């Protein structure tokens, strides 16, 4: 990874130096055709100031200018600071070069020539900044798409074998129900959750379907673990919001983590799950005890899947925060649908 990083940096530096060299050769050729001579020291000083301003504008001023808030103020400030610095550097350099040639130190401010040179370099730096930024965004989008495809492949590989278990559960549920109603109902809930996890294509579902399976999963665990006072959960929803599309398995994975990794044996400190789906906004909150030997997921597939799916469907419209200490594990998820 580090080798690739430095390789990209080296190529970018090579392109930059090639561009500067081409511009310098062109300008000096035009100047030589008129004056028929070139002074090396002024030329080197001239282009050193150009390069310094170019790099400052492309990597410091422009990234600062596009930030929010106060973008307009930042743009104006970047333009003023850039021009003032370039003007001072150019005039100081001219004064020192004159002193070197004549021995007479006389500082004068020349405005027009540095101004047009600054505008010229600013346009080149701006084009360079947007080009590099566009390339970086394209690479990030491509990497995100590749990661999404890899996650889909991993999920599909994980789902091939459980199909046999699902069909077996259906058979057992039909056989057990006449003997034990509660056992039959538990098997039915398990089969529904299993069917949902197998058939969802790691794409979009509706919040209504996702919440239905979250409810089934909670009832299933309450029945199996006899968690009556150890879990407090509530789902608040309106009829319009639950029809919105949402990444499948996201909420179900969050709830599953509570039962898999949380400590639910203390009735005085029950786990809490609150889900609100109202006014085109989803708010998920969970809090549970965690033991000292909290089991860490080996692959991190659930968290990676959650972040990838949310970033794909709701870029810039969600917040996901996890707070963990020695006693509690807390999750906050907010999505603007």
pLDDT of residue 281: 92
- What is the tens place of the pLDDT at every residue in 107-120? 778 888 888 888 88
Q: Say if domain 227-336 classifies as CATH 1.20.272.10.
A: no
pLDDT of residue 297: 42
Low-confidence ranges of the chain (pLDDT < 50): 1-2, 160, 295-299
pLDDT of residue 10: 67
pLDDT of residue 128: 84
Helix H, strand E, coil C: the string for the chain is CHHHHHHHHHHHHHHHHHHHHHHHHHHHHHHHHHHCCCCHHHHHHHHHHHHHHHHHHHHHHHHHHCCCCCHHHHHHHHHHHHHHHHHHHHHHHHHHHHHHHHCCCCCCCCCHHHHHHHHHHHHHHHHHHHHHHHHHHHHHHHHHHHHHHHHHHHHHHHHHCHHHHHHHHHHHHHHHCCCCHHHHHHHHHHHHHHHHHHHCCCCEEEHHHHHHHHHHHHHHHHHHHCCCCCEEEEEEECCCHHHCEEECCHHHHHHHHHHHHCECCCCCCCEEEEEEEECCEEEEEEEEECCCCCCCCCCCHHHHHHHHHHHHHCCCCEEEEEEECCCEEEEEEEEEC
The reply to whether the predicted model has a pTM over 0.75 is no
Domain with CATH 3.30.565.10 in the chain: 227-336
């Amino acid at each position: 990874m580090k080798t690739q990083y430095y390789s990209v940096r080296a190529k970018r530096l090579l392109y930059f130096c090639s561009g500067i060299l081409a511009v310098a050769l062109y300008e000096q050729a035009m100047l030589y055709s008129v004056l028929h001579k070139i002074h090396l020291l002024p030329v080197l000083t001239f282009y050193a100031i150009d390069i310094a301003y170019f790099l400052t504008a492309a990597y410091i001023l422009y990234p600062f200018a596009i930030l929010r808030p106060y973008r307009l103020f930042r743009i104006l400030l970047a333009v003023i600071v850039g021009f003032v610095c370039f003007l001072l550097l150019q005039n100081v350099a001219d004064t020192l070069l004159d002193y070197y040639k004549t021995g007479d130190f006389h500082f004068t401010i020349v405005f027009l020539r540095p101004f047009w040179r600054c505008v010229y370099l600013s346009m080149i730096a701006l084009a360079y900044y947007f080009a590099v930024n566009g390339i970086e965004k394209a690479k990030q989008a491509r990497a995100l798409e590749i990661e999404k495809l890899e996650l889909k492949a991993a999920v599909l590989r994980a789902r091939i074998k459980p199909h046999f278990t699902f069909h077996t559960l259906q058979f057992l549920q039909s056989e057990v129900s006449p003997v034990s109603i509660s056992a039959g109902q538990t098997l039915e809930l398990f089969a529904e959750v299993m069917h949902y996890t197998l058939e969802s294509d790691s794409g979009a579902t509706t919040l209504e379907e996702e919440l239905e399976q979250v409810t089934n999963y909670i009832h299933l665990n309450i029945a199996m673990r006899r968690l009556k006072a150890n879990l407090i959960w509530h789902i608040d929803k309106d009829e319009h919001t639950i029809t919105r599309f949402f990444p499948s398995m996201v909420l179900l994975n969050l709830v599953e983590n509570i039962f898999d990794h949380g400590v639910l044996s203390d009735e005085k400190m029950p786990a809490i799950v609150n889900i609100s789906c109202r006014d085109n906004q989803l708010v998920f909150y969970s809090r549970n005890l965690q033991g000292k030997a909290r089991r860490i997921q080996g692959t991190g597939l659930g968290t990676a899947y959650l972040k990838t799916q949310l970033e794909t469907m709701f870029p810039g419209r969600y917040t996901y925060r996890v707070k963990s200490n020695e006693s509690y594990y807390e999750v906050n998820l907010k999505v603007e649908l």
